[in-house]
Structure 1
Amino acid sequence: MPVPDLFAEGLARGWKTHDGSRLEADLTLEADIAIVGTGAGGGTSAELLSAAGFKVLLIEEGPLKTSRDFHMQEAEAYPSLYQEAIGRTSKDGAITILQGRTVGGTTVVNWTSSFRTPAATLSHWADAHGVRGHGVEDLAPWFERMERRLGIEPWPVAPNANNDVIRAGCQALGYDWAVIPRNVRGCWNLGYCGMGCPTNAKQSMLVTTVPATLENGGELLYLARAERLHFAGDRVDWLECLGMDDRCVAPNGRRIVVRARHYILAGGGINTPAVLLRSDAPDPHGRTGKRTFLHPVNFSAALFDEVINPFYGAPQSIYSDHFQWQGGVDGPIGYKLEVPPMHPAIASTLLGRFGVDNALRMEQLPHTNVLIALLRDGFHPESAEGTVLLRDDGSPTLDYRMTDYTWDGLRRAYHSMAEIQFAAGAREVLPLHNAARHARSLAEARALIDDLPLELFRTRLGSAHVMGGCAMGEDARTAVVDSLGRHHQVENLSIHDGSLFPTSIGANPQLSVYGVTARLSSLLAERLRA
């Protein structure tokens, strides 16, 4: 049975959208609330504010792609659905950063893992960063609301063999593990979530809150880059957007003026600070773009005699927080253990080497498992930390500074992953580092890991989580916005995305963004009505 195309049906009913790549002249748009970004923060805010009776305009730099465009092909998906055609990296090129750039944002391409913000993280924000109103009890009803809205619940299906490595290894070692909650309804268990869901089972903003906003009379402008906010005194007067070409590579010469009563930035932890920096927004204490965090990730591959087929089935369904909080908030850096799906293009890059060596590693892909460790950066003064900067052409980049404290965590994570993989029955383990080789026993792996020179470019590093850069807090000397997401210096400007977070959160962040921005949007609606 064909999967319905929600946008084709909605447009036939009168949904109002504007394709910035096809404008024949400059354009002026007006709304009560203009929202830059259509991902977790922007989409959630748009639905709630439009339901409250406000005319909402959603603005997206990327294209509008729907279920009929998702063919489970890496060569199609990566250039069209990801920031910088999946080429976004840290400024030095050493860390790959996966972020979405399409209507629905990263929620269209993430792997559906949905965790509430850990209690220890929320307590740390209150104690160390002066955040108010974001305690466990404050956010619980908003998390519950968004879990119901997006079908978030622990995955009820048995894990695929790739995820079962964590379960089997942790169970054999007596380590904690648990099932991951996923935002899906009627999932076909295909395993290609990172290329857009062809069945509309993933409850991304593309199939939930963005359509709801359009149904409520909102409008969508896509293939349009939010270039600059223009100010009149302590208020945003208007927003300047640039139409993009149909591949979202370069501006096409068309200019869109957006006038609204209130403006929300929800472009994520790199793009939101970039809009403020391009706009020369008030920043008396130099906080915009500072304290940006990644959950830096390293990788450990393992070969099994049995077939793993890491490209099939729900991409993430089992995790372990056993090593996350062992030293407390201020102790040695903690990390969350998960698996990534391993499709051929990403696998060939991650597994490394060239020529015959790479071909052999790819030949073994059906028997290969990879574990990842997500390091909880931002809690300790010696933690790695990033700053969002602008290139000469105004595009953003993240200057991410590694530290000995973080390298120590990466080495410990290599040890934990190898131990779990061998306990799960691995024949060989390969830490993904250009000086590593396959180890055939845990003792050999430990000696190998202890000798690895942990340096940029030699250690394979990546991240799919960008947090911070516009931190919230009541003290304007240390935060860009207050605890309600209101810009400290600009009266009619709010931020509703992961850039609000004063640190990383120690978990996949999408549900944190949903819950926090649902609360902030509802409070904003009350203020605007008043």
Structure 2
Amino acid sequence: MTMQDPITRGLENGWAVTDATRLTESQTLEADVVVIGTGAGGGTTAEILASAGLSVIMVEEGKLYSQKDFRMDELDAYANFYQEGMSRTTSDGGIAIMQGRCVGGSTTVNWTSSFRTPDETLNYWQQRFGLTDLNPDAMAPWFAEREDRHNMAPWAVPPNANNDVLRQGCEKLGWRWQIIPRNVKGCWNLGYCGVGCPTNAKQGALLTTIPGALDKGARLFHGLRAEKLVMNGDRIDHLLTVAMTPDGIRAGKVNVRLKARHFVVAASAIGSPGLLLRSDIPDPHKRIGKRTFLHPVNASVAEMPKQVDPFYGAPQSVYSDEFNFKNGVDGPAGFKMEVPPLHPGMIAAVSPNHGKAQHQLLSQLPHLQSVIALIRDGFHPDSPGGTVSLRDDDSPVLDYPITDYLWHGVRQAYLTLAEIQFAAGARRVQLMHLDSPRFSGWREAKKAITEMPMELHRARLFTAHQMGGCGMGADPAESVVNGFGEHHQVANLSIHDASIFPTSIGANPQLSIYALAARNSTHLATRLTS
């Protein structure tokens, strides 16, 4: 006998959930707090505030999906669960952006890697941005509490063959590696986390904090786009929203006006600055949308002598921080190394091959293995990040220039990835770069990579981590919010997502968002109930 899906059970038991695409009349609603976004930050915020006895309305532009919708189908999942149908990019098309668009946000479709914010990052934030209350000792209890809430622990199952290549290569080269903590419970080790968990093992917001908030009386509107926060004096009076059409892509004609004592924006490092810019929120120092970071990612793909089946098993279970902070926090660009799953649609999209070369590569999929590098951006003057602005239709877009400083990091990462794969026994290695042949040895690869042009659209770059754009800091002249996510100029506005990070963090960000949102929401609950 299978257990009933908790989303189905909750809906049958009377959760206050509204599919806004079915609304036929405009309306006005009120609550103590309106939370915009239902990902790691929004879900945590809603649960904590509702548990404190406050009335909460959650607003989510994407749809509510559940176990029945997660069919391990790339084509369907990318089109429906991701921003812009998995086609979101930076303004010049140079970096592909993987970002969730559904209830639970990216926590519904991420690969479950769960890291605490590195001590080096928290210490840098203290020194550079005056965030003295966010030191490692002060944050440790918040990390621990969220690890318990989301069942985060180092993966106890032996790594799949895909991830084990990273371990083998690091061991041969004398480099550090470790096992990744994952937020799963009863995981079947299928490997399709990126298209939604079909067994409800992933403990993202969809199965934890969102049900927790709804059980406490919170209301959820999905298929509802937040258009504009409307000011009255130094406070926000209400949020204007528009219901999406049934296809979930276009805005319809039904409006919902939401009034509240307090508003929490948790719409992502691209969505949150976009909403604030559309709303003409006070920005005396022009900081909204600035210093947006991505952990730009590059990759190499190896042909291994034995079958790897990179589409099965926990997608990420081994990592290496050997080069993350090796040259200091603000030295040459450091990078974290991890392994991605290789499903047919994904590898076809990121591979620089065409025609016969592409056919040859994909025909070898069971033998292919990949390692990626997450470039740590935002810690050096020559890594200022990008800028979120609005298109003509008021949708947000990110301009992200790749500086020479970052290109140097990308080249060093390519060298390191290829060296690891050859050390682990790869027959051939190809960089995800338009000028890369399939190298048959490390010496050949090293010479070519040293001379290869590092240019946009030649080096294939992507990201699943968006951070910054509403940075926190002690000085209002260089930040949007303080260390509790409270807006410097607007009395009843908080921001509880990765957009408040003043740099990237050098690790997958979901636990950092969960922990900061829990800390800041607990503080906010005390404010609003005292």
**What TM-score, normalized to structure 2?**
0.99
Structure 1 residue 3, shift from structure 2 partner: 5.0
Please give the secondary structure, in 2, of the residue aligned with 1:206: helix
Structure 1 residue 5, shift from structure 2 partner: 2.0
In 1: Cα distance, 2:435 partner to 2:260 partner: 55
Partner of 1:200: 200
Partner of 1:4: 4
Query: Which deviates more from structure 2 when the two are superposed, residues 347-356 or residues 168-177?
Result: 347-356
Q: Does residue 123 of structure 2 align to residue 123 of structure 1?
A: yes
Structure 1 residue 384, shift from structure 2 partner: 5.3
Please give the secondary structure, in 2, of the residue aligned with 1:126: helix
In 1: Cα distance, 2:175 partner to 2:477 partner: 42
Letter in 1 for 2:353: R
Partner of 1:319: 319
In 1: Cα distance, 2:118 partner to 2:506 partner: 7
Task: Judge conservation of contact 1:132–1:473 (CA < 8 Å) in 2.
Answer: no
Task: Judge conservation of contact 2:480–2:487 (CA < 8 Å) in 1.
Answer: yes
Letter in 2 for 1:74: E
Task: Judge conservation of contact 2:82–2:99 (CA < 8 Å) in 1.
Answer: yes
Structure 1 residue 253, shift from structure 2 partner: 0.8
Query: Which deviates more from structure 2 when the two are superposed, residues 21-30 or residues 455-464?
Result: 21-30
Task: Judge conservation of contact 1:3–1:200 (CA < 8 Å) in 2.
Answer: no
Letter in 1 for 2:464: A
In 2: Cα distance, 1:355 partner to 1:145 partner: 51
Structure 1 residue 380, shift from structure 2 partner: 0.3
Partner of 2:180: 180
Q: Does residue 465 of structure 2 align to residue 444 of structure 1?
A: no
Letter in 1 for 2:503: T
In 1: Cα distance, 2:272 partner to 2:145 partner: 26
Task: Judge conservation of contact 1:384–1:401 (CA < 8 Å) in 2.
Answer: no
Partner of 2:190: 190
Task: Judge conservation of contact 1:384–1:402 (CA < 8 Å) in 2.
Answer: no
In 1: Cα distance, 2:469 partner to 2:412 partner: 27
Partner of 2:417: 417
Letter in 1 for 2:209: T
Alignment of 1:53-452 (within 5 A): 53-383=53-383, 385-452=385-452
In 1: Cα distance, 2:528 partner to 2:316 partner: 40
Task: Judge conservation of contact 2:473–2:483 (CA < 8 Å) in 1.
Answer: yes
Query: CA-to-partner distance for each residue in 1:233-269, whole Å, 9 max, x for gaps?
Result: 0000000011011222110111010011110000110
Please give the secondary structure, in 1, of the residue aligned with 2:34: strand
Query: CA-to-partner distance for each residue in 1:119-174, whole Å, 9 max, x for gaps?
Result: 01001111111223111111111111000111000000000000001100001111
Partner of 2:456: 456
Q: Which runs of 5+ in 2 are unaligned?
A: none
Please give the secondary structure, in 2, of the residue aligned with 1:4: coil
Task: Judge conservation of contact 2:169–2:422 (CA < 8 Å) in 1.
Answer: yes
Letter in 2 for 1:174: G
Please give the secondary structure, in 1, of the residue aligned with 2:260: strand
How many percent identity over aligned positions?
A: 53
In 1: Cα distance, 2:460 partner to 2:346 partner: 13
In 2: Cα distance, 1:492 partner to 1:478 partner: 20
Task: Judge conservation of contact 2:94–2:456 (CA < 8 Å) in 1.
Answer: yes
Partner of 2:18: 18
Task: Judge conservation of contact 2:291–2:384 (CA < 8 Å) in 1.
Answer: no
In 1: Cα distance, 2:75 partner to 2:251 partner: 23
Letter in 1 for 2:111: W
Partner of 2:513: 513
In 2: Cα distance, 1:52 partner to 1:501 partner: 26
In 1: Cα distance, 2:132 partner to 2:53 partner: 28
Partner of 2:30: 30
Letter in 2 for 1:83: Q
Please give the secondary structure, in 2, of the residue aligned with 1:414: helix
In 2: Cα distance, 1:7 partner to 1:28 partner: 26
Query: Which deviates more from structure 2 when the two are superposed, residues 376-385 or residues 408-417?
Result: 376-385
Task: Judge conservation of contact 1:63–1:246 (CA < 8 Å) in 2.
Answer: no
In 1: Cα distance, 2:338 partner to 2:8 partner: 36
Structure 1 residue 2, shift from structure 2 partner: 3.7
In 2: Cα distance, 1:29 partner to 1:447 partner: 64
Please give the secondary structure, in 1, of the residue aligned with 2:306: coil
Structure 1 residue 219, shift from structure 2 partner: 0.3
Task: Judge conservation of contact 1:177–1:318 (CA < 8 Å) in 2.
Answer: yes
Aligned residues: 530
In 2: Cα distance, 1:410 partner to 1:380 partner: 15
Query: CA-to-partner distance for each residue in 1:90-142, whole Å, 9 max, x for gaps?
Result: 00011000000000000000000000000010011111112231111111111
Query: CA-to-partner distance for each residue in 1:470-525, whole Å, 9 max, x for gaps?
Result: 00011110000011110001000000000010000000000000111100000111
Task: Judge conservation of contact 1:16–1:214 (CA < 8 Å) in 2.
Answer: yes
Task: Judge conservation of contact 2:306–2:367 (CA < 8 Å) in 1.
Answer: yes
In 2: Cα distance, 1:487 partner to 1:53 partner: 23
Task: Judge conservation of contact 1:3–1:199 (CA < 8 Å) in 2.
Answer: no
In 1: Cα distance, 2:232 partner to 2:132 partner: 30
In 1: Cα distance, 2:98 partner to 2:349 partner: 14
In 2: Cα distance, 1:180 partner to 1:7 partner: 28
In 2: Cα distance, 1:384 partner to 1:133 partner: 24
Letter in 2 for 1:198: P
Query: CA-to-partner distance for each residue in 1:365-400, whole Å, 9 max, x for gaps?
Result: 110001100000000001151100100000000000
Alignment of 1:485-524 (within 5 A): 485-524=485-524
In 2: Cα distance, 1:273 partner to 1:132 partner: 25
Partner of 2:484: 484
Please give the secondary structure, in 2, of the residue aligned with 1:270: helix
In 2: Cα distance, 1:524 partner to 1:202 partner: 28
In 1: Cα distance, 2:513 partner to 2:132 partner: 16
Structure 1 residue 18, shift from structure 2 partner: 1.2
Partner of 2:44: 44
C-alpha RMSD over aligned residues = 0.8
In 2: Cα distance, 1:29 partner to 1:376 partner: 42
Structure 1 residue 4, shift from structure 2 partner: 2.2
Please give the secondary structure, in 1, of the residue aligned with 2:325: coil
In 2: Cα distance, 1:219 partner to 1:318 partner: 39
Structure 1 residue 17, shift from structure 2 partner: 1.0
